[in-house]
Amino acid sequence: MAIYGGFPSGGGTWADINPQVNTTTLSGDLQGNDATDIVPAELLGDATRADNSYRVVSASGTDFNSVLDGFTITAGNAKGASHSSYDKGGGIYCKSGSLTLSNCVFKTNSAMLGGAVYNLQGNPLLINCTFLLNYANDRGGALYSSRGSPVSYNCVFASNYAKEKGGGVYNEYNSPIYVNCTFSQNVAYAGGGVYCNKSKPIISNSILWDNSSRYGKLEPSQIYASEADIDHSCVQGLTAHLAGKDNIGLDPDFVNAAENDFNLKAGSPCIDAGNNDSLPPDISTDIDGTLRVKDGNNDGTPQIDIGAQEF
């Protein structure tokens, strides 16, 4: 089963689909009364969200042929009983499911575990997705994944918050893959960007910058892990602990991170600094639909950029 958003008002053809222009929203705000000025840390307990649905989408038992494409998923508030399924995955709850999420935006969802997405024993595929301003009162501000290994291409995780671990994502007992992803301005007590517990992530062509934790903005704030395979990525505070191959620790020079614009400025060290072989050949654009791979530094050789957006 595949469900698509992004059509213009009144319908249209496949050629008319454009989620960036035609927003199709799935919302947990049942009464349409949510306050609009809530900071992530207050989402779960805000009085205007008390009657929101525990989750917006349930996707347990799905496979890769189950597709959700072109939706904004927002205002899920998993404030149910502790240690039940109702305090997990404000946007999507996925147990033993491996659905494909494409061109989706997850915004202002909240839960105890997995503010936007909770994944248990599943292997979902995420392509061109944005996670913004989601909150977990425990672990996984945007995404919590246990005993299942999600694969993410061209995704942005920004300004998400977890009270304990994994402001962007929390992983345990798995081997997640992140290719051409951007993690920025996520916050947690430990592992502001990515937190791994008995987990070995594969990270390629990705930016982990300006995430925060009790360690300030050093490497453990970008990614907290005992081991990881990291290559052709930009990691703030990079040390020999997770040095990897062909990585850089230079400011990626975003256009306007304060306004969640993570495009690269001309001269960014992330331009033409990635590995062309990391991104599957059937993914030929970035998160904004811009063609990749291009010759961004005009040296005559097309080379993929680091991060979710191609210069």
Q: Quick one: pLDDT at residue 286?
A: 98
* pLDDT band at residue 68 under the 50/70/90 scheme: very high
Answer whether residue 281 is part of any domain. no
Q: Quick one: pLDDT at residue 254?
A: 99
Answer whether residue 217 is part of any domain. yes
How many structural domains are present in the chain?
A: 1
Q: Quick one: pLDDT at residue 20?
A: 85
Q: What does the mean pLDDT of the chain come to?
A: 95
* Residue 4 phi, psi (nearest 5): -120, 135
Residue type, 77: N
**Alpha carbon 29 to chain centroid, angstroms:** 22
Cα separation, 306 vs 295, whole angstroms: 13
37 CB-near residues (< 8 Å, 6+ apart): none
Residue type, 151: V
Residue 226 backbone class (left: φ over 0; alpha: ψ -120 to 50; beta: rest): alpha
pLDDT in tens, 145-170: 999 999 999 999 999 999 999 999 99
Answer whether residue 177 is part of any domain. yes
Cα dihedral sign for 226, 219, 115, 102?
negative
Answer whether residue 300 is part of any domain. no
210 CB-near residues (< 8 Å, 6+ apart): 184, 185, 217, 236, 257
Q: Quick one: pLDDT at residue 302?
A: 96
pLDDT in tens, 86-139: 899 999 999 999 999 999 999 999 999 999 999 999 999 999 999 999 999 999
Residue type, 81: A
| CA distances to 117, 124, 153, 216, 293 from 282, in Å | 25, 17, 11, 38, 12
Answer whether residue 230 is part of any domain. yes
Better-scored residue on pLDDT, 243 or 285? 285
Answer whether residue 277 is part of any domain. no
Task: Look up the domain containing 219 and give its range.
Answer: 2-264
pLDDT in tens, 46-64: 899 999 999 999 999 998 8
pLDDT in tens, 160-215: 999 999 999 999 999 999 999 999 999 999 999 999 999 999 999 999 999 999 98
Cα separation, 189 vs 201, whole angstroms: 20
**Lowest-confidence range among 21-35, 156-170, 265-279?**
21-35
| CA distances to 8, 9, 17 from 13, in Å | 9, 12, 7
Cα-Cα-Cα-Cα torsion 256, 280, 25, 110, nearest 10 degrees, comes to: -70
Among residues 127, 124, 103, 149, which one has the least CA distance to residue 280?
127
b/e burial code for range 98-119 (CB count within 10 A of at least 16 → b): bbbbbbbbbbbbbbbbbbbbbb
Cα separation, 228 vs 175, whole angstroms: 9
Cβ count within 10 A of residue 61: 13
Query: Among residues of the chain, what percentage have pLDDT more than 70?
Result: 100
Q: Quick one: pLDDT at residue 17?
A: 84
Cα separation, 240 vs 238, whole angstroms: 7
Residue 11 has pLDDT above 80, yes or no: no
Answer whether residue 307 is part of any domain. no
Q: Quick one: pLDDT at residue 267?
A: 97
Cα separation, 115 vs 82, whole angstroms: 14
Better-scored residue on pLDDT, 17 or 280? 280
Q: What is the CA radius of gyration of the chain?
A: 18
pTM, whole model, 2 decimals? 0.96
Q: Quick one: pLDDT at residue 244?
A: 86
Answer whether residue 294 is part of any domain. no
Q: Quick one: pLDDT at residue 215?
A: 87
